[in-house]
């Protein structure tokens, strides 16, 4: 009999959501019966990334107590063998319910390093994460942080680097053309929702310094800039205007297919203050784009080798990022050295 897997994920299109879909759709259909439950108000954007043929449940946003009740009724309805989630706010609520489902396997994936969580969130991690059967950490540092904070048994935390959805990237690039109209420009690209964590307020002045030396440089920022992202987006737009760079920096909003922007750019830039394990960086490396990356987490220095596939910069340092951008763009095509977790790695933890 197949193992029934119920994957809870938010309805937006963040890195954790896309990884959850990638894990689910790659599980062997002869062994696993996978369904998804999307949580959130507004448009169910992540549903567009779920292939046809999968059952998709929907829970609209509500207050935390009602949300927990919705989770309980969904689990009762589906009766899965394994319950999986990748986002802190969903992880904690599901683990609260684990006491009611002792025969079911709760597998969670940590979406960030513990130091970025608030004091309240850290308390929830200490109390609840040990209730999971298995915890997936994206890096060794993430595992070490969870063990130290929550006194969690090391044996239940497995380090699995994020997989890259090579098939989906290749499919979306099959008939792609460059989205850049000015072919004589040097193109820098950054992707991610407009949030302080992404460091676009560092990227914009760094680009201003780059543009003084590389006068034909342009910067494209691809990512959600409305809704909850609006306030930060307005701040960044004001910064762009104050630096007289409106004709050089282009905010193109959320794109269902961001890969042409990465593939046809001369350099990918990661300006984040913090990340779990940045999928966009891994995708840029897969597409053999030189990268300029802030060392916001330790693994960045292991992924990006200065002078080989890009250059690193100090976190929240405008001058350092500008120097990395100017040097990285000279590298042209690079070799991808990233080794991701495999489908079989994730299948083992679901069995």
pLDDT digits (tens, 9 = 90+) for 24-40: 999 999 999 999 999 98
pTM: 0.87
151 pLDDT more than 90: no
* Region 210-230 average pLDDT: 93
333 pLDDT more than 80: no
Edge to edge, the sheet with strand 186-191 lists: 249-253, 217-222, 186-191, 267-270, 291-294, 310-313
Question: Domains, the chain, ranges and CATH?
Answer: 3-160 (3.40.50.2000), 168-328 (3.40.50.2000)
What does the block give as tokens for 42?
């507004």
Q: What is the mean pLDDT of the chain?
A: 94
Res 76: pLDDT:
97
pLDDT digits (tens, 9 = 90+) for 258-275: 999 999 999 999 999 989
What does the block give as tokens for 215?
């006068």
Cα–Cα distance, 340 to 91 (Å, whole number): 23
Instruction: Tell the residue number behind the tokens 């994936």, with chain if given.
Output: 109
Cα–Cα distance, 37 to 56 (Å, whole number): 6
With a CB cutoff of 8 Å and minimum separation 6, the contacts of 174 are none
Cα–Cα distance, 248 to 261 (Å, whole number): 15
Res 173: pLDDT:
96
CA geometry: angle at 235 spanning 232 and 240, to 5°? 125
CB of 219 closer than 8 Å to CB of 184: no
For residue 207, give Cα distances in angstroms to 79, 164, 187: 52, 28, 11
* Region 18-29 average pLDDT: 95
Res 197: pLDDT:
94
Which helix or strand (DSSP H or E) is residue 284 part of? helix 279-286
């Amino acid at each position: 009999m197949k193992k029934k897997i119920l994957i809870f994920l938010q309805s937006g299109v963040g890195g954790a959501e896309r990884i959850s879909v990638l894990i689910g759709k790659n599980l062997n259909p002869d062994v696993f019966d996978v369904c998804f439950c999307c949580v959130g108000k507004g448009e169910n954007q992540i549903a567009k990334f779920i292939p046809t043929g999968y059952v998709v449940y929907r829970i609209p946003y509500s207050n935390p107590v009602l949300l927990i009740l919705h989770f309980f009724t969904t689990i009762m309805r589906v009766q899965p063998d394994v319950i999986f989630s990748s986002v802190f706010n969903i992880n904690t609520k599901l683990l609260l319910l684990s006491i009611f489902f002792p025969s079911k396997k709760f597998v969670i994936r940590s979406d960030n390093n513990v130091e970025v969580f608030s004091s309240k969130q850290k308390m929830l991690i200490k109390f609840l994460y040990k209730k999971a059967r298995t915890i997936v950490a994206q890096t060794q540092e993430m595992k070490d942080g969870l063990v130290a904070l929550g006194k969690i048994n090391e044996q239940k935390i497995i380090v699995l680097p994020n997989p890259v959805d090579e098939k989906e990237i290749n499919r979306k690039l099959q008939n792609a053309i460059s989205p850049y109209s000015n072919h004589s420009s040097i193109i820098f690209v950054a992707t991610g929702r407009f949030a302080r964590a992404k460091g676009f307020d560092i990227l914009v002045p760094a680009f201003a310094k780059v543009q003084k030396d590389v006068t034909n440089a342009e910067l494209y920022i691809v990512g959600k800039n409305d809704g909850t992202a609006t306030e930060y987006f307005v701040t960044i737009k004001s910064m762009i205007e104050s630096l007289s760079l409106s004709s050089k920096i282009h905010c193109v909003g959320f794109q269902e297919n961001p890969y042409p922007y990465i593939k046809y750019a001369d350099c990918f830039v990661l300006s984040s203050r913090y990340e779990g394990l940045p999928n966009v960086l891994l995708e840029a490396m897969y597409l053999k784009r030189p990268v300029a990356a802030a060392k916001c987490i330790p693994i960045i220095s292991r992924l990006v080798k200065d002078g080989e596939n890009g250059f690193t910069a100090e976190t929240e340092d405008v001058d350092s990022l500008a120097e990395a951008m100017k040097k990285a763009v000279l590298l042209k095509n690079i070799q991808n050295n990233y080794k991701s977790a495999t489908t079989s790695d994730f299948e083992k933890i679901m069995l």
